[in-house]
Structures are given as structure tokens and as C-alpha cells.
């Protein structure tokens, strides 16, 4: 808010407690500059669950109190992420004068996830660390996509609360309800009238999405609760179940969540079939989950580690920022440690050989991409450095009935997206794409369109 409004609010708050001097010493006002963040989020740590819940929307975190959001369940041990994106029509954003206003989100991106994958993992990891340190269930509010002075972005934890109500995921609003939109206090009069006019067989439900100036107004929420109790009305809640309004509503009125996610509390069997770190089974069982794993020999483990190296390298390419890059490099290094152990080679010996090779033929610091070698012709330079586009360097090569895919292409899948390779001599192609757990290969039928020349002469158009 603007400075005059902030000062007026502080004065009013002090006047409210003037008659209760024992509370004055417990009040503190924190003044700070506006935190420019792309998204706001809430994350929940529960010591009885192996998952961290993350809810987020673009703009200020306060929009999560009443408006739709994206949700993620992050398994704290395996770091598997289940995403539940939803249609987000609006987000809350400050205006030049300091007031808040809901901005409309265009349809083309309304269903896109408002947090990047590495941001979800970062928020989940750090929320888990906060919860473990506090030793109890806690919800943490985050600013995500905060831009630093150097231009990089990061997530900032801002507030925590122990107030949380478990949502009832098995309820759904019946069709025998008259639904009334509640945006302003005057809409509550319509709720009372509907209750008086309709037959007892029909029930009233309030779809609450307050206007901007009422988002943080506790008296309006109390009015909603009082009316709901008086006329036995239900409340349709579009906001996050981690928000304070939901905590205040739950247990006092019937609440129906617009965003239903039954999967979070369903302890179903999840198949991983992947190599994980040695202490993962111990950590899974500590969360009261059953874990099944297989013991393998050194030769098989070494093969799996080769695939794990590719997996971790893919995540390294997708990392953004120095901290995330360092963490992914640490994962790559741990895979290399595992390969040394399975091969029975001491790490120190590997380092010595690497240093010797670096001294003799150099490392990979300069990024030299060798194109070709040949005997020089008279007058031809021995060293020829060329400027070639990266797309030309890293691409498939066709030779008769074969397609050669270079290793370097694997490093581009997370950046360039899917690659389609035509099968020589056929009308089919192979689509090659990379994911978190592996590569996907699919056979496709090539599509062709009739080529039409639209540069017609004028006399043909008569």
C-alpha cells in the first residue's frame, strides 16, 4: 500500500488496542519494500506424511485465499512430483497507487503451471527442512520468482502458520442447491432472500470470491459464516485449503472445495523401477510406508549407474541459477562415485589420471567442437576456426537406410524439446523425447499436404 495508507492503518491498529494496554507490547509492525515476485505459494509439511503439498498462483499470495490455483504433491524422499494444474482466470496484483486489483489471465496460458519444476522442488525441499526443524505440522507462505540484483530468480519464505484444517476430499455439492455468487456484503441479502423464497427441499450454497478490497477483510468472512449458519447454507470454496479463510470456515459451516484432489491421501502402490540412493528405503519406511526393493550385482548396478548418469545430466541442463546447478552437479558427482565403487577403482586414482590427461591434452573448459581433420593443401591454414550454428553441429545424420543420432543430441532434449527423425525410404518417422525418468520413442505416420501455388494471375480470378 502507499505510505499515507500504511500510516493510517498503523494508527488505527494502535487505537484499536489502546483500551487493552497489555496487548500493546505484543504488537510489532514490519515495514518493507514491495517484494516483486512472479508467483505466490503455500506449502504444507506434515510429519505423518511423506509428501509436501504446494499450492500456487501468479501474483500475490493473497489470491490463494479465494481463487483457483495450481497444486503439486512432492514426495520428500524420491522427489517425485505430481502436478494438478487448474484453470486460473485471475491473479491479484498491486496497482501504481498501492491498491490491489484482480488482473485477468488470458486463456492461452490460464492452464499453464505458475511455478517452474525446479521452483516446486526447491519450495518442497526447504519447507520440509523448516518442518523437520520445528518438529510439527506447518504451512509456509512463499514468494516465488523473486528477481535478484544480478537478474537471477529465487524463492523466499515469508510467513508460517500452524493453523491448518484437513479438507474433506470425499464430498461433492449435490444438485439440489441454489448457488449464489458472493462478492460483496450486499450479496448476502440475496442469500437470505433465496432461503426465504425457495422450498425446504432446495438448499442454498454461497460461491465466495470476494472483491479485491475484501480479500483481507476478516469482518466480511465472519458475515459469510454468520449468514451460512443462520440459513443453513453451504460454502463453495475455490481457494487453497492451506489458506487462513479455509481454516476459519472448516468446522463452522459446510465447505465444498472447487479443486478436488483425492489422490493426495490415497496411499496406492507406486512403481518406480529406478536406481535410488542407498538410504532411500530407510527414509521411506521411517514415514510409515512399505518399501520393496531388489538387490543387484556390481555388473548390473554399473549398467544402471550409466543410465542414472544420463538422467542426472538431463536435470543438470534444466537447472536454473548457481545453487540449483551446484546441487545437480553434486548428483552427477555422486553417480560417478558410485561407478568408481562398483568398478573397484579408488577415487584418488581417478583424480590423478584425470589431472594427468588434463595436463597432456587439456580439459573441456574451452568448448572445442572438432569438425574434421585432413592433410593441408598448399597455402591452406593448418588451424581453421569456423563459426557454425549449434543446430548444424548437433543434428542427426542420414545414410541410406540408417539414421545416426549423436550423443550430443541427448543433451538438447530438455532445451529443444522433441526431435522427429524420418525413416529413410518410408512415410514414417520416429519421435524421440526426454522425460524425468527416461526417453520416450514413438512411431509416427508422416503427414503431407497438397502444395498449392496461390500466386494466381488476375485473369484466372475473373
**How high is the pLDDT of residue 101?**
86
Residue at 292 is within a domain: no
| Mean pLDDT in order along the chain per 10 residues (462 residues) | 74 76 70 80 90 92 88 87 87 81 85 88 93 92 86 87 68 69 91 79 83 87 91 87 87 80 54 85 81 88 90 82 88 95 94 95 88 87 84 72 72 64 76 68 66 46 40
Could you give the residue ranges of the DSSP H alpha helices within 57-186? 117-134
- 239 and 221 in a single domain? The answer is yes
Residue at 453 is within a domain: no
Domain count, the chain: 5
Give the domain-ending residue among 212, 245, 260: 260
Q: What is the DSSP letter of 61?
A: G
Residue 49: CB atoms within 10 A of its CB come to 19
**How high is the pLDDT of residue 346?**
95
- 330 and 405 in a single domain? The answer is no
- 116 and 205 in a single domain? The answer is no
Backbone angles phi, psi at 431, to 5 degrees: -95, 130
Grid coordinates belonging to 24: 500493546
- 44 and 24 in a single domain? The answer is no
Are 264 and 51 in contact by the 8 Å Cβ rule? The answer is yes
**How high is the pLDDT of residue 458?**
47
- 221 and 323 in a single domain? The answer is no
With the C-alpha atoms ordered 65, 66, 67, 69, is the resulting torsion angle positive or negative? positive
**How high is the pLDDT of residue 435?**
60
- 39 and 141 in a single domain? The answer is yes
- 43 and 153 in a single domain? The answer is yes
- 232 and 305 in a single domain? The answer is no
Q: Which domain holds residue 6?
A: 1-31
Grid coordinates belonging to 28: 510489532
Strand-pair partners of 398: 403
Residue 182: CB atoms within 10 A of its CB come to 25
Residue at 214 is within a domain: yes
**How high is the pLDDT of residue 263?**
47
Q: Are strands 234-237 and 203-208 parallel, antiparallel or unpaired?
A: parallel
DSSP conformation letters of 290-328: --------HHHHHHHHHHHHHHHHHHHHH--SHHHHHHH
Are 416 and 426 in contact by the 8 Å Cβ rule? The answer is no
Give the domain-ending residue among 260, 286, 318: 260
- 61 and 84 in a single domain? The answer is yes
Amino acid at each position: 500500500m502507499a505510505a499515507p495508507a500504511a500510516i493510517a492503518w498503523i494508527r488505527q491498529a494502535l487505537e484499536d488496542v489502546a483500551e487493552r494496554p497489555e496487548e500493546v507490547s505484543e504488537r510489532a509492525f514490519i515495514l518493507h519494500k514491495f517484494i516483486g515476485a512472479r508467483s505466490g505459494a503455500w506449502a504444507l509439511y506434515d510429519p505423518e506424511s511423506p509428501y509436501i503439498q504446494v499450492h500456487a498462483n501468479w501474483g500475490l499470495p493473497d489470491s490463494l485465499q479465494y481463487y483457483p490455483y495450481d497444486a503439486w504433491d512432492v514426495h520428500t524422499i524420491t522427489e517425485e512430483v505430481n502436478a494438478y494444474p487448474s484453470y486460473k482466470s485471475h491473479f491479484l496484483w498491486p496497482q501504481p497507487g498501492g491498491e490491489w486489483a484482480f488482473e485477468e489471465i488470458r486463456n492461452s496460458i490460464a492452464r499453464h503451471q505458475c511455478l517452474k519444476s525446479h521452483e516446486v522442488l526447491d519450495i518442497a525441499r526447504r519447507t520440509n527442512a523448516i518442518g523437520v526443524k520445528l518438529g510439527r505440522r506447518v504451512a509456509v507462505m512463499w514468494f516465488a520468482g523473486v528477481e535478484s540484483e544480478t537478474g537471477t530468480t529465487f524463492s523466499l519464505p515469508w510467513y508460517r502458520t500452524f493453523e491448518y484444517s484437513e479438507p474433506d476430499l470425499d464430498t461433492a455439492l449435490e444438485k439440489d442447491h441454489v448457488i449464489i455468487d458472493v462478492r460483496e456484503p450486499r450479496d448476502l441479502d440475496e442469500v437470505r432472500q433465496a432461503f426465504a423464497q425457495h422450498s425446504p427441499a432446495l438448499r442454498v450454497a454461497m460461491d465466495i470470491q470476494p472483491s479485491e478490497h475484501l480479500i483481507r477483510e476478516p469482518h466480511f468472512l465472519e458475515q459469510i459464516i454468520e449468514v451460512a449458519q443462520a440459513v443453513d447454507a453451504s460454502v463453495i470454496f475455490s481457494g487453497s485449503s492451506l489458506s487462513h479463510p479455509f481454516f476459519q470456515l472448516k468446522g463452522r459451516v459446510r465447505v465444498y472445495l472447487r479443486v478436488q484432489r483425492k489422490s493426495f491421501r490415497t496411499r496406492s502402490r507406486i512403481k518406480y523401477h529406478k536406481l535410488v540412493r542407498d538410504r532411500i528405503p530407510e527414509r521411506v519406511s521411517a514415514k510409515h510406508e512399505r518399501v520393496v526393493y531388489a538387490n543387484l550385482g556390481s555388473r548390473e548396478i554399473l549398467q544402471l549407474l550409466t543410465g542414472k548418469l544420463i538422467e542426472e545430466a538431463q536435470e543438470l541442463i534444466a537447472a536454473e541459477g548457481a545453487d540449483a546447478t551446484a546441487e545437480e552437479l553434486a548428483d552427477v558427482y555422486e553417480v560417478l562415485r558410485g561407478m568408481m565403487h562398483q568398478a573397484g577403482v579408488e577415487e584418488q586414482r581417478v583424480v590423478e589420471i584425470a589431472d594427468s590427461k588434463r595436463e597432456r591434452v587439456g580439459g573441456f573448459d574451452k568448448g572445442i567442437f572438432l569438425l574434421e581433420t585432413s592433410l593441408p593443401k598448399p597455402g591452406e591454414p593448418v588451424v581453421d576456426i569456423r563459426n557454425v550454428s549449434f543446430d548444424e553441429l548437433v543434428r542427426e545424420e542420414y545414410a541410406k537406410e540408417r539414421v545416426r543420432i549423436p550423443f550430443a543430441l541427448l543433451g538438447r532434449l530438455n532445451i529443444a524439446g522433441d526431435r522427429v527423425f524420418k525413416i529413410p525410404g518410408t512415410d514414417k518417422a520416429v519421435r524421440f523425447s526426454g522425460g524425468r525418468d527416461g526417453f520416450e520413442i514413438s512411431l509416427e505416420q508422416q503427414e503431407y499436404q497438397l502444395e498449392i501455388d496461390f500466386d494466381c494471375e488476375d485473369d484466372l480470378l475473373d
